[in-house]
Structure 1
Amino acid sequence: MKSQPSKRIKVEPGFWAGLRQLGIAAHDVARRAQLPLTIITETVVTTAQYFAIWQAYSDLIGDTAEGIIKLATAFDTAKYPPTVLATYHSRDYRDALNRMVRYKQLCPPESLRITEEGEYCTIKLEWLNTEQPGPPMLVGITLAFLLELGRRGTGQPLTAELVEFSHAMGDVQALENYFGCCIRVGATCNRLTLHRSDLDLPFTSYNEELLEILTPVLDRSLNEHQHSHSFTEMVKWIIKRSLTGGNPNIQAVAKELGMSDRTLQRRLTDKNTSFKQLLTRAKHEQAREYLRDPSLDIKEIAFLIGYEDQNSFYRAFRLWEGVTPSAWRNEHLGSNSN
Structure 2
Amino acid sequence: MRADQIPLSRGAFARMAAVGLDVPAVLAQAGLSLELMSAARPVVTTAQFFGFWHAVEAIGQDPSLGLRLGDGTRTEVYDMVTAAALHAGNLGEALDKLARYKRLTCPEDVVVELNRDEAAVSMRWMLAEGHTPRLLVDAMFASNFALAERGTGRHLHLRRLELTRRPAEGALLAAHFRCELRFNAPQDRIIYQRSDLELPFVTRDDSHLTRVLPLLEDSLREQSAATPLRDKVWNVLARGMRGGHLRMAQVADALYLSPRTLQRRLGEAGTSYQQVLDQVRHHLARRLLDATDLDVGEIAFLLGFEELNSFHRAFRQWEGATPARWRQVAAS
Indicate conservation of the 8 Å contact 1:250/1:275, yes or no: no
2:159·2:179 contact (CA, 8 Å) conserved in 1? yes
Amino acid at match of 2:18: Q
Aligned to 2:201: 203
Taking a change above 3 Å as real, the CA distance of residues 250 and 206 of structure 1, as seen in their structure-2 partners, is farther
Change (3 A) 1:276 1:39: same
CA 1:73 to 1:143, structure 2 compared with 1: closer, same or farther past 3 Å? Answer: closer
Answering whether residue 203 of structure 2 is matched by residue 215 of structure 1, we say no
* Residue 56 (structure 1) aligned with residue 58 (structure 2): no
* 1:1-338 matched pairs, under 5 angstroms: 5-42=2-39, 43-64=42-63, 66-75=64-73, 77-129=75-127, 131-167=129-165, 171-230=169-228, 232-241=229-238, 242-243=240-241, 244-245=243-244, 247=246, 265=256, 268=257, 273-274=261-262, 281-283=272-274, 285-287=276-278, 304-305=303-304, 333=317
Q: 1:204 to 1:274 in 2, by over 3 A?
A: same
Structure-1 separation of matches of 2:223 and 2:164:
30
CA distance in 1, matches of 2:140, 2:108: 9
State the 1:78 CA deviation: 4.1
Following superposition, which runs of at least 4 residues in structure 1 exceed 6 angstroms of deviation?
248-254, 275-278, 291-303
CA contact (8 A) 2:73 2:146 kept: no
Task: Mark the CA change 1:71 to 1:20 in structure 2 (over 3 Å): closer, same or farther.
Answer: same
Partner of 2:324: none
Preserved CA contact (<8 Å) 2:73 2:143:
no
Q: CA deviation at 1:290?
A: 5.2
Letter in structure 2 aligned against 1:133: H
Larger Rg, first or second structure (1 or 2): 1
- 2: CA distance, partners of 1:146 / 1:219: 22
Is the contact between residue 186 and residue 302 of structure 2 (CA under 8 Å) also seen in structure 1?
Answer: no
Structure 1 residue runs of 5 or longer lacking an equivalent are: 255-260, 311-324
> Using the alignment, how far apart are the partners of 2:280 and 2:77 within structure 1?
42
Whether the aligned pair in 1 keeps the contact of 2:74 and 2:147 (CA below 8 Å) is no
* CA deviations over 1:146-165 (Å, ceiling 9, x no partner): 11111000000112111122
Q: How far did 1:167 drift?
A: 2.4
Any conservation in 2 of the 1:147–1:159 contact (CA below 8 Å)? no
Q: CA deviation at 1:143?
A: 1.4
Separation (CA, whole Å) in 2 of partners of 1:222 and 1:41: 29
* Number of residue pairs aligned between Structure 1 and Structure 2: 302
Aligned match of 1:258: none
Q: Which amino acid aligns with 1:150?
A: A
Matched position secondary structure for 2:207: helix
Q: CA deviation at 1:277?
A: 8.1
Which letter maps to 1:105? Answer: R
Stretch deviating more after TM superposition (47-56 or 203-212): 47-56
Distance 2:83 2:62 in 1: 29
Shift of 1:221: 1.8
**5+ residue gaps in structure 2?**
290-294, 322-332
% same residue = 24
Question: CA-to-partner distance for each residue in 1:180-239, whole Å, 9 max, x for gaps?
Answer: 112223333211111111111000000000011111112222222222221x22431233
The one-letter amino acid paired with 2:148 is G
Cα gap change, 1:219 to 1:249, in 2 (>3 Å): farther
What secondary structure sits across from 1:176 in the alignment?
helix
C-alpha distance in 1, partners of 2:182/2:225? 38
**How far did residue 46 of structure 1 move?**
1.7
CA separation of 1:288 and 1:28: change in aligned 2, threshold 3 A: closer
Q: Distance in 2 between matches of 1:82 and 1:249?
A: 35
Aligned equivalents of 1:122 and 1:276: distance in 2?
Answer: 34
How far apart are the structure 1 equivalents of 2:249 and 2:15?
Answer: 40
